Structure formats: C-alpha cells, structure tokens
Amino acid sequence: MKRLIILLFIALISPIRGNSRLLFYLKPIPKQLINNLTEQDLHKKIANLKEKTPSQITISQLKRKMRKKRIQNNRGFLALYNGYIDYSSSDGQISFPLKQAEKKLYIAITPDIKPIKIKENTISHWEFIPKEKNNTKIYLFEKQIDSDKQYFWQVTEAKIPESNIVGTDYVVLLTKAKNIYVATGDFLSNDNKQLILPKNIYAIGDSQKNEVMLKFISLEKYFEPIEIESAKLNTMAFEEIIIND
C-alpha cells in the first residue's frame, strides 16, 4: 500500500505531517449509492457498462449489472495540482503540498488539458480543451462554518471557465468525467490546517484510463512527482509523509 496508517490513530493524527497538505480519496462506489441512483444517473453518470444496454432493460436490471461490475480498483488515476503530479494509491489516496490559503478548491475531471507556452520549455498556464467539453465535469469544494461553529464542506457543480484557464486552485483528475461520480451537498468537517476533502468522490469506471496516461507522458516533465517517506510513530503505527516543499 502506498500510504499506510493504523486505523486506531486516524482520529488522533493526520496521515500527512509537516507543512499543510491537500488530501482526498477516490472511493469505490458503494452499493447503497447504486441503489439510490435514478435511471437518468445510470445512463448519464454511470455509463461504464461494456456491453450495449437494450432499450427495454429495466432500471433494476441496470442496477444489478452495476452492482456486479462496480469498480473495486481505484488505483492509478492521475491527478495534477500546482505543478505537482500524483497517482491514486491502492486505497485511492491522492495528496499534494498545499499551495493556497483559501479553503476553496475546484476538482476538474477531464481526459486532457493543454499547455500554453511562452517559450519552448516554459509554460504560462494550462487550459481545458473545448472539444473535451462533454467529457469534462467541474466541482467546487468550499469549507464553511455554520451558526453553531460547525465546519462543513459545501460541494456544488461548477461550469468550465469561459477563459478555459485551469486556475491554481484546481485539482485536475485526468480521466473521462463518466469515470468519476462526485456527490454534491454538505459534508461535515473540522478546523484543520490540512485541506482534507470529504470522502464523496467515487471511482466508478476506468474507461480509457491507460490511453489518457500514455497520452500525457510527454507532458509529465512539467510536473514534480510527489515524494513519500515512511515515519515510525511507535511500535504499532507508521505514517508516510510528503517531503516535497
């Protein structure tokens, strides 16, 4: 496992230490979520059935097929943030050094982005590709506090910016939007200097994941890979620490 931490200590420590970090997980879609999906969800968001679905198939049959085919392997999804690159671990974890003060973050799911260069090897910024609009989804995560001083994440769907520019407050998951399901709404949180997103992001398919990764190989040189070191907490527990600045 890429990052190991004993469950007993989850409530007491963060799985990453040192400077502030950004952390989230890609979870396998739970069976209960499949049960709650509507027919529209199944056709639009869960369109990862390999065989063609006959028009006469019932929603219950679709759900049974989805439960049978639910993706368990959430490993190897490529993520980008502020010049860093990481791949989801065997438990779906993705983490980066946190490079923003604002408790607001966009998660963009798209199979490709393009570099805007000012010189041959100098990138000005990255942009979304208009032709991939139908394969792109963006979600806004905003940490807020209510009248009872309870922190929570508010998650809403957002639009592709008119400028197509990928901002510094964006995490880009390089995959087709149909491969990821993000539950919207409010999710309880706490006042933590780490930016730990709620566990509402689900890997529900891996359509063309390898093709996307191969296509991106030539652009990997513009990103710094996340480096991990193991640290022993005591005789029972270890944690792994990002050592990038």
**Mean pLDDT, the chain cut into blocks of 10 residues (245 residues total):** 35 47 90 64 52 57 65 83 93 93 95 90 91 94 95 97 96 93 94 92 83 84 80 64 70
85 bridge partner residues: 80, 225
Whether 119 and 179 map to the same domain: the answer is yes
Whether 112 and 48 map to the same domain: the answer is no
Whether 83 and 53 map to the same domain: the answer is no
> Is 234 part of a structural domain of the chain?
no
Cα-Cα-Cα-Cα dihedral sign, residues 100, 175, 243, 217: negative
> Is 122 part of a structural domain of the chain?
yes
Full domain range(s) for residue 125: 21-29+73-226
Whether 57 and 103 map to the same domain: the answer is no
> Is 16 part of a structural domain of the chain?
no
The CB-based long-range contact list for 13-17 (8 Å cut-off, 24+ gap) reads 13/233, 13/239, 14/192, 14/194, 14/196, 15/93, 15/95, 15/239, 15/240, 16/95, 16/194, 16/239, 16/240, 16/241, 16/242, 17/231, 17/239, 17/241
> Is 116 part of a structural domain of the chain?
yes
> Is 61 part of a structural domain of the chain?
yes
Output the pLDDT for position 32: 72
> Is 40 part of a structural domain of the chain?
yes
Output the pLDDT for position 13: 37
Whether 55 and 111 map to the same domain: the answer is no
Which residue, of 41, 70, 99, is where some domain finishes? 70
Whether 101 and 184 map to the same domain: the answer is yes
Alpha helices in 16-149 (DSSP H): 31-36, 39-44, 59-69
Whether 64 and 78 map to the same domain: the answer is no
- Pairing status of strand 201-203 against strand 27-28: parallel
Q: Which two tokens stand for residue 52?
A: 């063609």
Whether 53 and 110 map to the same domain: the answer is no
What's the structural domain count of the chain?
2
> Is 10 part of a structural domain of the chain?
no
Whether 120 and 61 map to the same domain: the answer is no
